[in-house]
Structures are given as C-alpha cells and as structure tokens.
A and B are shown apart, each in its own frame.
Chain A
Amino acid sequence: MNKIVRPAKAPLGDGLPSVLIMCHSHPMETRGGAEIAALELFRGLKSRSGAAWFLGCAGSKTESRLGAPLTQPYGEDDYVYHPGAEFDYFKFANPDPNFPKALGKLVAELKPDIVHSHHFSRFGVESFAVIKRNSPNTKIVLSLHEFLAICNHHGQMVKTKSMHLCDRSSYSACSSCFPQYKARDFFLRKRYIQTFFADVDLFVSPSQFLADRFHEWGLPAEKLVVLENMPPVQNHGMVAEIDVALPQVAAETEVRPVAKRATRTVAAAPAKSAIAEKPGPAGKAVESAAAAESRPLRFGFFGQMSPLKGITVIIEAAQYLNKQGVTGATIEIHGDYSNQPPAFQEVVTKALDDAGQSIVYHGAYDNRDVHRLMRRMDAIIVPSTWWENSPVVIQEAFTNGKPVICSNIGGMAEKVAHGVDGLHFTASQPLSLARAIMELTEDPVRLAQLTAGVRKRMTTDQALDAHLRFYRSIMTSPVRVEA
C-alpha cells in the first residue's frame, strides 16, 4: 500500500476557504447525525465569517415552487433542493433531469473552494460529476456516515435474513441477501457508484473502521482520511461543569490519514492507560456516586429501540440479571419503539415485562434533554448489533463524562477503549453484556476508574479548526503519495 504523506499541521492563516455544504436532508426537516454535523459545520464557518453556503434536500416541511428545483426559504446562503423524480436508492442515482442544471448553475456561480457533501443520497452520486463539470477547481469532500455505498441493506453490513454481521460485500453474497437482484446488478451498482466517487477528492470517515471498510471496497487509501464529525451543539454551561474533571486531548491528533489495520480488533483491548493500571489522583478521589449513596448502578440506553440498535440484547441481559437476583444494577431505557414493526413491538413489550426490576422503561425523550438524562446515569450502554460508525450517543456519553459499555465491533469498539473509558462485550451476546454490568456492580472502584478514564472530547471550536486545517490541506497542498 502507498505510504501517505501529509503536510504537517497547516497554520490557519487569514483567508478561509469558501465551502458549500450539502446534506441529503435539510436540518429544518430532520435531525440525524449527518444533518447535525453538516449544520454545525455551516454555523461554525459562518461564525468565523467565512463564505459558506448550505444546500439541503426538502422534505414534507418545505413547500416546493413549481418549476424551481432550488429555493431559499431559510435565508440567502441556504438552499433547498426539491427532488423532482423518484430517487433510485439502489445505485443512488437521481433521475431528476432538472437537478444537474440547477446544481451546475449554482456551483458555477458560487465557485466554492470546497463542496463538502454529507451524503450522496437524494442528490445522487452523479452530482459529483456535475460539480466538476461546472466548477472544475472546486474540491469535493464526501463524509461517509454508514456503509450505504457498499451495502444495500440500509448500509449496515448485516445479512438480511440471519441478521449476522457481514464482513465483506461480494456480488453473489449481496444477491443472496437480495434475491430480487442478481450478482450482475450488484456489479453494476458498485461500478455506477464508484464511477462517480472518482470525482470526489477526499472521503472523510469519522472512524478508522469505516475507512478500512471503504478502502477494502475499492476507495484509494490516499483519498481517505479519518476525521470525527462536528459534535452536536451543547448546553455550554453544563459541559463546562463536566469539563473540570476531564483530561484534555490534543485536537490535531483527530485528523489522521488512513493506515489500514492488519486485522479487525474486535475484542482486543488497547493498552491499559495509566489511569486503569494505577488509579491516579482523579481515580482515587472519585468514588462511585452509587456506592456512596448505596443505590443500584444506573445503566442508560439512549436511542431507537430497534433490533439493530441491540434493544433485545439489552432486554435479555436485564432478564438474566433479574433471574440471577442481581440487585445492584438497573438498566434504564430512553427511547421509542412505536415506529418498529408491530410484531417486534409485541416482543419488546413482553420482554420488558419479563425483565422485572432490572429494567426501567422511560419512553421517548427530547434530544435537548439528552445531557441532563445522561448525567443521571453511571454508564451508558451501546449494544448495537451492527457495526456502527461513530455513534453520536458515544460522543454524548463522553461529553457528559460517562463510560460506555458497548458491543466489541466496528466503530463502537474503536471509539471506546476497553478498560479505559468503557467496556466491550461480545456483540449480540446478552450474557456477555450482563457480565460486563456485573463486573461494575461487584467492583465499584472499577466504575470509578472508567469514569475517570473518559477524556474530554473536542469542543465545537476545536472540531471546526480541525476541519479548516483539513480543508486547507486539500487546497494548498494536494495529497502527495509516495510509493
């Protein structure tokens, strides 16, 4: 593999690059991880007085105007695209014949230094070719959020029937998951997407794991960088309160080029940190709040109660704890399952009943309350049965100083260091999760060590600096590749 050489930390300088940020759903419509990251980036660039524009796709909340693919209902630098034809979600093609012209005209006028696209869905992968045709000097950056380009199963790399984890796509394996498509269709799908990915100058992956998967799929290593998404907006007063206890981490280390790891490090714990090995001042000082109050430990789950988010794993773990008579732990579920299939809702309802005292179901929550709710917990559980990329919930947990117990796979295993700021358990194994929980209930010092091990995450400002440095590196010094 080629060795990748990048310029050392580039100074921020005066002139900021002009950036058009694209997002497959306008943040006024929906607030998923990609929308939040894109919006924060836009706001950040604006706050630095940089030239920044936003282009997001309309949903039901934005009225379309006859014959106008682009409108500006939210202000002068903020564009909304109204898709004019049914999108092809198989190969991410946008058949809308009016969009290329509208997008081409827009980039020809704006001539942004950079188009940073936070998804290719709904715009279509062809939009990269349109941008290059109409503004050849513009660099295109694409943030990857899941495995959609690789996997037709909602980009999750989980088999459709067995729901087993999938390690690698192949035309025939993909066709087994989707028998209505033949191997040749998956061949064409990949070719189509890669044809237009060739116009992207750099791919940004928030996790090494995702970057490795895309590299294996065919993206050149020199075009992949690992850069954490912009963090979600926070209640600064509250974060400041937590900040005191958290050790700092250098922001510049967060931008790093991909160097593919030799193997997937699913269960392997990283080297123990100084904190874990020998409790430092912080570890010594902090005794578990629960131990101090002699109450059960509170383990929080936040998010969608879907099978892929591991809701059944967590409920079965609770059932096990209940059966074992473990009284030192309560699992508290914050989330909603009303939009899940009825059969699954039934399973969840029954399972919740069976888990007895070990589980408390709080129901849906407002995302604005997430920090307040998390701070009541002793640890956060992320039991997803798919790989995940860089789950926002882990960022949120760490922002609130809470260790994370997560599945030992993919982006979760990468973001949480086992034995440092959380624990890994074997994915999809409720017993393994139950044991991790019991490890903490039986050893209050262990929880205190992990809590102390949580490092401060990048602030919005630091993350923005990291983005700007990254932009500048594309602008000023094209990526050099040495054999």
Chain B
Amino acid sequence: MAVPGNIESLAYCPSIGGWLVLGWIGFGWDAEGAQPEATLNFGGRLVVAEPIICVIDRPDVRKVGTGIVMFIPDQRDLKGMPHDLVLRRGDFAFSTPLVSAQQFDPQTALTHGRNLLAHATRSEEWQNLISLLERPLFTGPDTIESFDRPVFMQVDLAFVCPPSGLWLFGWMLDPFATIARMTLRCGGRSAVIDPREWISISRADVSSGFGEQFGGLSPKCGFLAYFPDVYLPGQAPYIEIETVYGEIGFKAMANVRSAGVDTIKDMLQRIDLRYDELVQGYDRVIGPAIEAINTFRLRNEVGYTRMDFGPRVASPRCSIIIPLYGRMDFMEYQLAFFAGTLSPDHEIIYVLDDPTRQRELEFLSASCYARFRRPFTLVGLAENLGYAPANNMGLKVASGEYICFLNSDVFPDESDWLEYMLQTAENDPKVGIVGALLVFEDETVQHDGCTYERLPEFGNWVFCMHPDKGMTSPKVLRVHEVGGVTGACMVMKAELARRVGGFDQGYVVGDFEDADLCEKVKTAGFSCMVDQRARLYHLERQSQGNQAASWRFNLTLYNAWRFQNRWVRNAERSLVLDEPEAVA
C-alpha cells in the first residue's frame, strides 16, 4: 500500500554514524507489528538499515500525515547523496525520490533535529534518538582527562590496515574504574573497544609515571589492538569513552599512518606472547592485522623486467628459480660453481626481490656472464614482494618441465646434485617433491627433511622440525620419504607446482611457505622425498638470535598461525606428528 509523504532534508552525520532525515509521511505507516526497514539507494548500491523514527507534530500536513525525524544508521559512508528512499513496515511501503531534498551540513541537521524533537511525543524511539542527537560531539580536543575522575589514554601508533582496519598501540589508565564503555569511531563507523580483546603490554614507563599520583597501577596498561572494520578514508578516527556517571569524553589520535611491511616489524617488536596468550593474540590482533596488510600489499599484479644473459635454453629440462634479496654476491658464487658443472639443459632464473639493487645486479650479472659464460635469466621485480611471490614470479616465467626452487645461499658440493633429484622425481610418478641433503660449511646436517611437532610453549601449535640438524652427515646415502622438504632446495614438476598455485603468498617474509607447499602436494596425493645423493651446502643465516621480543621471531609465529589455520585447525587431513619421546 503506497502512502504519500515528502523528505524535505537530509544529512549524513558521522558523529552519530548515519543519516538524519526530516520530512513528513502519510498515515498508515506506523501499523503495529513489523520492524521498519529503510533502504537508501545510491544508484544501484543500497544501504539497508533499521531506522529510528520519531513522530512530530506538523500542522501543515496534519490532515494527511505526520512529521518525522528519522535516523538511518550507515557506517559505510558511500559518499555522495542517495537517489531515493524506500521505507517498509510489513505491507506498508513509502517510496520517494530524494532529488529535491535539501542537503544540510551535519551540524545544522543535528541542531534542527534536536529542536524538532523538543516538542515531540515521548516514546522509546524518542529517547533513543534524543540521546543520540544530544551526544557530545568530538571536535578535536581531548576531554577524557577533564572527567571528575580522570581517565588517561594515549594512542602512540595508529596504522590503517587497508581497506578499513585500524591497528593501535597505546596505553590506558583508569585509576578509579569509571569507564563504562569505549568506542572507536571514524566517520560514521564505530567499534566497541573491549580490553579483553586486546594484547596487554607492560608499560612500566607509564604506570610508574602515574603511580605517584594514583598509587599502585598495573604495569600492564599498554595495549595492542586491532579493529578490522572501522576506518573510513578521509575521516579522523577517535576514541569515545563513556563513564559510569554518564559523562562522555574523547581522545584524539594523532599521526594516523598507513601500514606497510615496516609496520609489521614495528608492532611485532612490542610483544612477547607465549603459551595460550598466543592463540588469542594472533587470532584477534596480530593475525587479522598482518593478513590485511599483506593482502593489500599484494593486491595488484606487480610488474617485472626480464633480462637474458646468454642464449635462452630451448625447452629446458629443469628451471632453477632463485630469489635474490640481501646478499647479491651469492649469485656470483653460485654461478661460478654452476659453470662447467650444471648441465646446459637446465635454465637458471634469478628473481631480484629488491628493486633498489636492480642496477647493481645488472652490472654483476653482465660481469658474471662474461666471466663464467653460464647463461641465465634475471627477473627484476618492480617491488619487494617477499619469498613466496618472488618464487611464484619465477614459476611464471619458467619454461622447464621441472622446477627447482633454490635459495641463493645454497651451493652445490658436486656436479650431479640436480640429476639425482630429477631422477628420483622421474622414477616414481607418486613422488611430488624431492629435496636434497643440505649441510653446513662444517659438513654437518642442515636439512634432511622435516617432521611436524607440537610445541606447548607456542600455543601447542605445530611446527616444522629438522631432525639431525647439526649432526654429522649420514655415511650411507639413501632416498627417504619425509614429512616436508625445505624450500631452500626442492624439485617438482612445473605442472604440479602450477596446479597447486605455487607458494601461498599469505605467509610473510619467508617461513612455512615450503611446508605449506608440501602439504598442498601431499593433499593432491603425492609424497615428499629427500635424496641424500644430492648434497649441497646451505649457509643458513643465524639472525633470529635469542631476543625474546624479536620481531622476526614473532613474524615466524604469525606464519605458524597461518599454517595452523590452513593445515591443523579444521583441516580435513590431519598432519602426521612426530613424538620425539613417548608420553608417560
């Protein structure tokens, strides 16, 4: 049943998170029963929400209907004005174009709305709406410290994790336990701040500073919190605190920056989670924040350049893909050792994952080719992408029947290493991935296949272990099946590598991608082997150190978290775990 009416003005009010709509509407819409539903149409994009509608006396339309003040929540702020409005309640429908409606600025609209409501009939809707409209407005300055019983808060770092996440690091002191509710607001969006959801961090600097004035305060007053869906571009986020006495105060956030890979490092160096803290901290804060940053970082196809040094290998048997980052001279060593030992049937592809070193590497490449005459290809990425995407780019340009993913810090010990690996891969169609026996420079084992183990100190998550690492090399060489193979040196069919999508790019910097790839291949029905006849040196860096709050270690934990989510929690196929000792 269509009814008459007119919407005379409307305004988007970020401080209340929605549209304030003024006008009149014909009798009959307020039938008991159904909840009203408002639909704003932005030219195809719809905002559907449950409105709050208050009736006001309008003598000019008294014969046909009543005046209304309506609030339509909309946190998405689609920018621009809606074309039309549809209001439904049960069978009742009111539809009107909005082209002729007057647009107010938020301030005017709120004042006008409050004035109209002053004379309206009291109801539950009225109460809800008036408290919304009378809420103090955030105008910039901080006001929480002027509460009767003050609250102290500081957001030291605020990073936008696109599109709409906010990652905050700061501290909060509530010496009189007066906080009733905290809300993070940005434009029309808001999110409840629940301290149970954030990661508490010791901030002795803060608690000791305030301790004199307020007595014993917990040093764990720092926080790292993540809000996945609150940020609106162009809007300044702020925190609204409501006390048990009904006061409302605000805390501004200076210096909101966009997050990048550096942000991950910056934030991760501030935490030191162990045991069960790990699960909540990574589920609620670290995991979604880094995922958002990483997804955004890799959202676009990145350009690359390809340079061939020497003739291309026509239909290569194997493409060796080697990402380069940090030590460029490793390429020089590798090519020197490959020259004269590696069959010319194989192509070598270096993927430079650091555009700032492009010129330097081009010169070194020309020099290496002149010196060693071993043809190779250099792929230069337009951006630093990380281990998995760099390898995947190599996979994209590779034309070999097989792929050998190789790290730049792996160096052959003898000339037939790749032939052995290929032989093992070819001999049995059920073999998916072949790894090598990797040794340190002192000939002890660096890698002879991986096993999986749960580590209680890290949330009982499953980690890759390297049996026999640091031990003397095996005397009798064999080909043996393993749980996983390191990405430092692995051979597989190019077709299989492409079918499973290469390395998962959700891991950051370089951990667990190889175990993930092995799991994908195993899920597809293949096995992973190590061929000890293929022996190479892996001069693995020793950089993680023992610092408890090492960002790098925490990033490994992020990657571990991702691995759990993909292969341990809710996985259809359970991992075979290694129990080093029997359980008593």
Task: Please pick, from A95, A187, A195, A196, the residue contacting B363 in the complex, using a CB distance under 8 A.
Answer: A95
**B contact residues, range:** 20 to 34
Q: Are B333 and A192 in contact (CB under 8 A)?
A: yes
Residues in A with CB closer than 8 Å to B369 are: 97
The A66-100 residues at the B interface (CB cut-off 8 A) are: 85, 93-100
Q: Are B337 and A85 in contact (CB under 8 A)?
A: no
Which among B42-50, B173-181, B370-378, B417-425 touches the partner chain?
B370-378
Residues in B with CB closer than 8 Å to A98 are: 370
Given that A93-B332, A188-B411, A192-B333 are known contacts, is A129 also in contact with B370, CB under 8 Å in the complex?
Answer: no
Min CB gap A124→B, angstroms: 7
Given that A187-B537, A191-B333 are known contacts, is A129 also in contact with B441, CB under 8 Å in the complex?
Answer: no
Q: Are A195 and B336 in contact (CB under 8 A)?
A: yes
Residues in A with CB closer than 8 Å to B53 are: none
Given that A97-B366, A171-B441 are known contacts, is A187 also in contact with B371, CB under 8 Å in the complex?
Answer: no
Residues in A with CB closer than 8 Å to B539 are: 184, 187-188
Residues in A with CB closer than 8 Å to B441 are: 171, 183-184, 187
The A174-194 residues at the B interface (CB cut-off 8 A) are: 182-184, 187-188, 191-192
Q: CA–CA, A100 to B368, complex, Å?
A: 10
Residues in A with CB closer than 8 Å to B367 are: 85, 95-97
By beta carbon, the residue of chain A nearest B341 is A195
Task: Please pick, from B336, B340, B364, B371, the residue contacting A100 in the complex, using a CB distance under 8 A.
Answer: B371
Given that A97-B370, A126-B372, A184-B441 are known contacts, is A191 also in contact with B337, CB under 8 Å in the complex?
Answer: yes
Min CB gap A415→B, angstroms: 36
Verify if B212 is at the interface (C-beta below 8 Å from A): no
Min CB gap B366→A, angstroms: 5
Q: CA–CA, A85 to B442, complex, Å?
A: 33
Secondary structure at chain A's binding surface: helix, strand, loop or mixed? helix
Query: Digit string of B406-449 for contact with A (CB within 8 Å is 1, else 0)?
Result: 00010100000000000000000000000000000110000000
Min CB gap A81→B, angstroms: 14
Query: Digit string of B508-549 for contact with A (CB within 8 Å is 1, else 0)?
Result: 000000000000000000000000000001010010000000
Q: CA–CA, A182 to B440, complex, Å?
A: 13
By beta carbon, the residue of chain B nearest A184 is B539
By beta carbon, the residue of chain B nearest A101 is B370
Q: Are B339 and A100 in contact (CB under 8 A)?
A: no
Query: Digit string of B330-360 for contact with A (CB within 8 Å is 1, else 0)?
Result: 0011001101100000000000000000000
Q: CA–CA, A192 to B364, complex, Å?
A: 16
Which of A99, A101, A129, A171 has the most chain B CB atoms inside 10 A of its CB? A129
Min CB gap A108→B, angstroms: 14
Q: CA–CA, A363 to B363, complex, Å?
A: 47
Residues in B with CB closer than 8 Å to A130 are: 371
Query: Digit string of A93-114 for contact with B (CB within 8 Å is 1, else 0)?
Result: 1111111110000000000000
Q: Are B337 and A129 in contact (CB under 8 A)?
A: no
Q: CA–CA, A126 to B368, complex, Å?
A: 10
Q: CA–CA, A195 to B442, complex, Å?
A: 18
Q: Are A124 and B371 in contact (CB under 8 A)?
A: yes
Which of B369, B539, B542 has the most chain A CB atoms inside 10 A of its CB? B539
By beta carbon, the residue of chain B nearest A171 is B441
Q: CA–CA, A95 to B366, complex, Å?
A: 9
The A124-158 residues at the B interface (CB cut-off 8 A) are: 124, 126, 129-130, 133
Min CB gap B489→A, angstroms: 16
Q: CA–CA, A98 to B339, complex, Å?
A: 19
Given that A171-B441, A187-B537 are known contacts, is A192 also in contact with B370, CB under 8 Å in the complex?
Answer: no
Given that A97-B366, A171-B441, A187-B537 are known contacts, is A192 also in contact with B336, CB under 8 Å in the complex?
Answer: yes
Min CB gap B101→A, angstroms: 72
Q: Are B442 and A171 in contact (CB under 8 A)?
A: yes
Given that A95-B363, A97-B363, A184-B441 are known contacts, is A195 also in contact with B371, CB under 8 Å in the complex?
Answer: no
By beta carbon, the residue of chain B nearest A133 is B373
Residues in A with CB closer than 8 Å to B409 are: 184
Query: Digit string of B537-568 for contact with A (CB within 8 Å is 1, else 0)?
Result: 10100100000000000000000000000000
Residues in B with CB closer than 8 Å to A97 are: 363, 366-367, 369-371
Q: Are B337 and A195 in contact (CB under 8 A)?
A: yes
Q: CA–CA, A196 to B372, complex, Å?
A: 10
Min CB gap B321→A, angstroms: 21
Q: CA–CA, A126 to B372, complex, Å?
A: 8
**A contact residues, range:** 20 to 34
Q: CA–CA, A188 to B538, complex, Å?
A: 11
Query: Digit string of B84-97 for contact with A (CB within 8 Å is 1, else 0)?
Result: 00000000000000
Q: CA–CA, A182 to B337, complex, Å?
A: 20
Q: CA–CA, A188 to B539, complex, Å?
A: 9
Min CB gap A359→B, angstroms: 48
Residues in A with CB closer than 8 Å to B339 are: 129
Residues in B with CB closer than 8 Å to A99 are: 370
Which of A99, A126, A130, A184 has the most chain B CB atoms inside 10 A of its CB? A184
Q: CA–CA, A100 to B336, complex, Å?
A: 14
Residues in B with CB closer than 8 Å to A196 are: 336
Min CB gap B204→A, angstroms: 35
Residues in B with CB closer than 8 Å to A133 are: 373
Residues in A with CB closer than 8 Å to B366 are: 97
Q: Are B372 and A129 in contact (CB under 8 A)?
A: yes
Min CB gap B332→A, angstroms: 7
Q: CA–CA, A195 to B341, complex, Å?
A: 11
Q: CA–CA, A95 to B369, complex, Å?
A: 10
Query: Digit string of B320-334 for contact with A (CB within 8 Å is 1, else 0)?
Result: 000000000000110
Query: Digit string of B2-15 for contact with A (CB within 8 Å is 1, else 0)?
Result: 00000000000000
Q: CA–CA, A171 to B340, complex, Å?
A: 26
By beta carbon, the residue of chain B nearest A99 is B370
Residues in B with CB closer than 8 Å to A195 are: 336-337
Residues in B with CB closer than 8 Å to A188 are: 333, 411, 539
Q: CA–CA, A98 to B182, complex, Å?
A: 68
Residues in A with CB closer than 8 Å to B537 are: 187
Q: Are B373 and A126 in contact (CB under 8 A)?
A: no
Min CB gap A78→B, angstroms: 24
Residues in A with CB closer than 8 Å to B372 are: 126, 129
The A363-408 residues at the B interface (CB cut-off 8 A) are: none
Residues in A with CB closer than 8 Å to B333 are: 188, 191-192
Residues in B with CB closer than 8 Å to A100 are: 370-371
Q: CA–CA, A182 to B372, complex, Å?
A: 25
Q: CA–CA, A100 to B442, complex, Å?
A: 33
Q: Are B363 and A126 in contact (CB under 8 A)?
A: no
Min CB gap A50→B, angstroms: 30
Q: CA–CA, A456 to B224, complex, Å?
A: 84
Which of B333, B370, B442 has the most chain A CB atoms inside 10 A of its CB? B370
Q: Are A94 and B371 in contact (CB under 8 A)?
A: yes
Query: Digit string of B389-419 for contact with A (CB within 8 Å is 1, else 0)?
Result: 0000000000000000000010100000000
Given that A98-B370, A100-B370 are known contacts, is A126 also in contact with B336, CB under 8 Å in the complex?
Answer: yes
Residues in B with CB closer than 8 Å to A129 are: 339-340, 371-372
Q: CA–CA, A97 to B373, complex, Å?
A: 11
Min CB gap B328→A, angstroms: 11
Min CB gap A470→B, angstroms: 28
Residues in B with CB closer than 8 Å to A187 are: 441, 537, 539
Q: CA–CA, A195 to B364, complex, Å?
A: 19
Query: Digit string of A30-57 for contact with B (CB within 8 Å is 1, else 0)?
Result: 0000000000000000000000000000
Q: What would be 26 A-B contacts, judged by CB atoms less than 8 Å apart?
A: A85-B363, A85-B367, A93-B332, A95-B367, A96-B367, A97-B366, A97-B367, A97-B370, A100-B371, A126-B336, A126-B372, A129-B371, A129-B372, A133-B373, A171-B442, A182-B542, A183-B441, A184-B409, A184-B539, A187-B539, A188-B333, A188-B411, A191-B337, A192-B336, A195-B336, A196-B336
What residues make up the interface of A, taking CB atoms closer than 8 Å to B?
Answer: 85, 93-101, 124, 126, 129-130, 133, 171, 182-184, 187-188, 191-192, 195-196
Given known contacts A95-B363, A191-B411, what 10 new A-B pairs fall within 8 Å (CB)? A85-B363, A93-B371, A95-B364, A95-B367, A97-B369, A98-B370, A133-B373, A182-B542, A183-B441, A183-B442
* Closest 6 pairs (CB-CB, A-B): A187-B441, A184-B539, A97-B370, A97-B367, A126-B371, A95-B367
